[in-house]
Chain A
Amino acid sequence: MTGSAIVGFVLLLAAAPLIPGVAVRAKSLATGRRGAPIFQLYYDLAKQWRRGTVYSGTASSVVRLAPVASLVTAVVAAALVPLDGDRALFAFGGDVIAFASVLALGRFVLVLGALDTGSSLPGMGASRDVTVSVFAEVALFTTLIGLSAATQGGDSLSVMLRGAVAGPNTATAVTLLALAMLAVLLAEAGRGPVDDPATHLELTMIHEVMILDHGGPDLTLLFYAAALRFSMLGAVIVGLFVPAWPAAGALAATAGLLLVLAAVVGVIEGTTARLRLVRIPQFLVVATVLAALATVLGAH
């Protein structure tokens, strides 16, 4: 546990709501509008935190547990992501599997929370979310084996990302992996063209409709967790390109690249139409194929 890892972790936690803010701003600009301030999510979080909430008479304690679990799993997973180009706050052999599993725990409770109120709308979101996540998970794990192959077999996120930049002749593989990982990010963080976080119609949502029955502090936790998931998956992609500079330089590079990535995501969202639900698996299968290609390149 190094000083720079702690600084990076704290910075990530603090800056997480900024990343979706930048994405939304970039999307607005790409579609010819001015858009909300990039710090808007901070104001929203503070407002929701001070509000009260209403619970459904059908719901049990699961709906109350879901926001808490969503936040805690996001924070714990974020601790496994290296930000200073070297080592994560919490790194150990096999932590990539823990990374995926901790995020899966968050999803498990969130989906149950959606089914808890007995409403067909969150139920629909839950069903779609698990469907998308099946394909996203395969793409994620294929990306991970690509990374492992490109870095002579690590199974710690820190080792993998460190090796990705140091390895020779891996430029093509790393680019392919970054593209695959970007698709995973779009799916897992609920951004376009997989999901539409800004739509007004529940029937077209995935993540937003799952958390339809939450309000007040619960909604704060859920929004913040979603922002953090977006930021840390982005940090994994960015980590592929951060060179082995001294810790301070690497941290700055991570931060700068993360903002660029957020803008890219915003532009993608602004310029592409949302995919039909039946096309989403195909989108993620393409990502899997890219990652598989990178794996073959890296392994030989």
Chain B
Amino acid sequence: MGLGLLALAVGIGAAGRSRRALAPVVVALTVAGSLGTALAGALALLTGRGGTLSWASGLPVGPWLVGLDALSAWFVLVIGLVGAATALWGLASLASDASRAVSGTHGLLAALIGACVLVVTAQAAITFLMAWEAMTLASYLLVVYHDDEEEIRRAGRRYLVVTHAGVLALILMFGLWSAGGASLGFDALAGRSAALGPTRDAILVLALAGFGIKAGFVPLHFWLPPAHAGAPSHVSAMLSGVMIKTGIYGLLRVGMMVGALPTWWGWTLVVVGAASGILGVLWALAQHDIKRLLAYHSVENIGIILLGMGVGALGTTAGNPTLAILGYGGALLHVLNHALFKSLLFLAAGNVVHATGTRMMDQLGGVGRALPRTWFAFAVGAAAIVGLPPLNGFLSEWLIFRGMFAAGPLGGHLTLLLWGIPTLGLIGALALACFTKVCGVTFLGTPRTAAARDAHGESLGLAGPPLALAALCLLVGLSPMWVFPPVFAIATQVAQLPPSAALTASAAIHPTAAAVTVLGLTLIAGLLLVGWLRRRQLGRHPAPIAPTWGCGYATATPRMQYTASSFAAPLLDTAAALAPLEIARTDTMLATHPVDPVLDRALDPAWRGLVRLAQRLMPLDRARVHVHLLLVVGALLMLLLMLATGWGLG
């Protein structure tokens, strides 16, 4: 039913794309549809019942198949929750854009949400690929919303090309898997897995490439930051919060369908996850653009999710249910958590862009004063993404940490998982450095420019969705005893464990869940109590307001404040080899420009080299007639030779 409403929203958006009056109708339908699908997902999780729908496709590849099992239901829930929030924010945000056909854009967002839902509920390869393609196209059209900017058009083109390379890998994967079989239903494919032999490894590698491009882990992330930063903020929220998770879904689904996973799979996920986590946050630290910074944090968080999945996969291969439950459980919970706080952060950053007209942090400062609700929501989201209690990010990272601790005494290669703990600790500490920078430089201090000083405009429509998401972050963070059971139930299915073993393992974790709640509530109660004591004590004295002490210097200006670049400089100096900066220096000016090593140092030079090579061959094309004749004759001779020897004709 939810999908039906989404479809209606798409239809109306398409038909009335230039009629602005229709925008609220389209968005209302989108929100209702999103919440409806989220509800369906939640119900399926609670009752443990799913269902399958099928239509005859008329194609020789079997019927369209859509179904809802526990894993699908979890992702549907995530998509629905974030989808509704982003659609609402989009209505308020685009209302001020008089130059465009916003109803069509709202319809596209509905299409994107619907396509994401279809992706995670598809039960047959063709259905899946069609939904995947629809998702890609809808998101591309949304990314290039500001198509008057060359940079954004370029980011969009790159996104489209790279994503389609990923689709090719997926088509190849399903092709290998079916091996000419009649049905491409997921059940049929899973049934064929046992007989795959070495093809299984090829399938897994293709899945890693195809889904990895969508998920955006290192080194396949290079398309992600420009595309996510250039899109309107609610689209960024949808892309970073939800759409890249369909890559994670794909990896989990393929893992379930393949059955017995090899050990290298788990270790690959762990290593790629650790690399993504560390490099993602380091590169984020170097950014000056608040939305690019958030996009790089998606690379980091995908890394954390992969770490959890790796721990889970290794647990399954080693037959250790505790490891599997903690790893997969942490990864699945982090999917929800990252969706909540990342979409929150993007929407709040969108409010800052709305109010000031710039995404550059070094032009901002003191914005929290003009946008108090946005600032509050952003601060909660920042604490959550850093993994601080009592918020939701802490819960999922806590599970993954515990999984790695549990691997220590198991012996053999599993003991090596212990080293994931300092890695995750490093990621957390770097994230703290990065988000104190964003919060401090953007929202606190003195405005650095007129744009920041004149910041205004925080309507309920713009502030409401981030605040609602912040409330969800706190709610999830305080209720592990309600969140863990469904997550562990899904993890049991993903890990392909017998329910009894999984029950024993999760029963051992549940008592500590209550302790985490106590910890969170103690922190909150302590803050209130000490805050009250302090206020009472201060009440006995006047607390005068004075200018900030300038260390004896009388004419301090806002430009003397620490900036995003100077705040991160000591850390980036120590990590210069991994996160290089381009530094432009004149007598009176110093500017740093963050470099993405994969894109700027590897891919772009390789591409330029290819273009140069092609240019070197160009003179041949413009040569005189007899050179052309020579080429034609040569080609003919070669063809004749091939015919004569039978080579290359199979």
Contact = CB atoms under 8 A, between A and B. Distances in A.
8 contacts: A65-B531, A92-B511, A101-B394, A104-B429, A119-B548, A120-B562, A127-B570, A142-B422
Nearest to B532: A68
A138 interface: yes
A111 B440 contact: yes
A112 B440 contact: yes
Nearest to B440: A115
Q: Which of B444, B512, B571 has the most CB of A within 10 A?
A: B444
Given A53-B541, A92-B512, A97-B402, A62 B444 contact: yes
Given A98-B516, A112-B444, A126-B440, A216 B538 contact: yes
Given A128-B570, A217-B537, 12 more contacts: A53-B538, A72-B526, A90-B518, A104-B428, A115-B562, A119-B549, A119-B550, A119-B556, A121-B551, A145-B418, A148-B405, A155-B406
B408 A57 contact: no
A154 B537 CA distance: 43
A108 interface: yes
A121 B551 CA distance: 8
Interface residues of A, number: 82
Interface in A212-247: 212-213, 216-218, 221
Interface string A244-268: 0000000000000000000000000
Given A54-B544, A145-B419, A202 B551 contact: yes
Q: Report the 6 A-B pairs with minimum CB-CB distance, sorted nearest first.
A: A115-B440, A123-B562, A52-B541, A141-B425, A118-B445, A153-B409
A34 interface: no
Contact of B571 (A114, A131, A141, A221): A131
B388 A101 contact: yes
Given A69-B527, A108-B386, A149 B444 contact: no
Interface string B392-433: 001001100110011011000001001101101110111011
B567 to A, nearest CB: 5
Contacts of A134: 426, 429-430, 433, 571
Given A52-B542, A58-B548, A120-B562, A126 B402 contact: no
B546 A54 contact: yes
B537 A49 contact: yes
Given A58-B366, A115-B436, A127-B567, A72 B523 contact: yes
B449 interface: no
Contact of A118 (B425, B522, B544, B558): B558
Contacts of B387: 101, 104
A56 B519 CA distance: 33
A37 interface: no
B561 A123 contact: yes
A164 B366 CA distance: 49
A140 B425 contact: yes
B389 A102 contact: yes
Nearest to A288: B422
A55 B546 contact: yes
A73 interface: yes
Nearest to A285: B574
A155 B405 contact: yes
B298 interface: no
Nearest to B529: A72
B425 A112 contact: no
A97 B424 CA distance: 11
Given A76-B522, A92-B515, A115-B440, A56 B534 contact: no
Contacts of A212: 549
A68 B549 contact: no
B429 A137 contact: yes
Given A94-B512, A134-B571, A104 B551 contact: no
Interface string A80-110: 0000000000101111011011101101100
B534 A218 contact: yes
A281 interface: yes
Contact of A101 (B389, B406, B534, B558): B389
Contacts of A127: 562, 566-570
A244 to B, nearest CB: 21
A152 interface: yes
A95 B406 CA distance: 13
A217 B519 contact: no
A71 interface: yes
Interface of B: 365-366, 368-369, 379, 383, 386-389, 394, 397-398, 401-402, 405-406, 408-409, 415, 418-419, 421-422, 424-426, 428-430, 432-433, 435-437, 439-441, 444-446, 508-509, 511-512, 515-516, 518-519, 522-523, 526-527, 530-531, 534, 537-538, 540-551, 556, 558, 560-562, 566-571, 573-574
A123 B567 contact: yes
Contact of B408 (A53, A59, A299): A299
Nearest to B547: A57
B534 A120 contact: no
B284 to A, nearest CB: 14
Interface of A: 49, 51-60, 62, 64-65, 67-69, 71-73, 75-76, 90, 92-95, 97-98, 100-102, 104-105, 107-108, 111-112, 114-121, 123-124, 126-128, 130-131, 133-134, 136-138, 140-142, 144-145, 148-149, 152-155, 202, 212-213, 216-218, 221, 277-278, 281, 288, 295, 299
Nearest to A153: B409
A187 to B, nearest CB: 12
Contacts of A155: 401-402, 405-406
Given A51-B541, A153-B409, A141 B558 contact: no
Contact of B530 (A68, A126, A137): A68
B444 A60 contact: yes
Contacts of A115: 436, 439-441, 444-445, 562
Contacts of A55: 543-546
A107 B388 CA distance: 10
B383 A126 contact: no
Nearest to B434: A130
A73 B522 CA distance: 10
A130 B436 CA distance: 9
B425 A137 contact: yes
A76 B562 contact: no
A93 B480 CA distance: 14
B648 to A, nearest CB: 56
A44 to B, nearest CB: 16
A76 B425 contact: no
B538 A145 contact: no
B432 A107 contact: yes
B432 A130 contact: yes
A68 B531 contact: yes
Contacts of A98: 389, 398, 516, 519
A213 B549 contact: yes
Contacts of B444: 60, 62, 112, 115-116, 118
A150 to B, nearest CB: 10
A84 to B, nearest CB: 19
Contacts of A154: 405
B363 to A, nearest CB: 15
B365 A60 contact: no
A74 B502 CA distance: 36
A127 B574 CA distance: 13
A238 B291 CA distance: 46
Q: Which of A52, A145, A149, A221 has the most CB of B within 10 A?
A: A145
Q: Which of B415, B440, B545, B567 has the most CB of A within 10 A?
A: B440
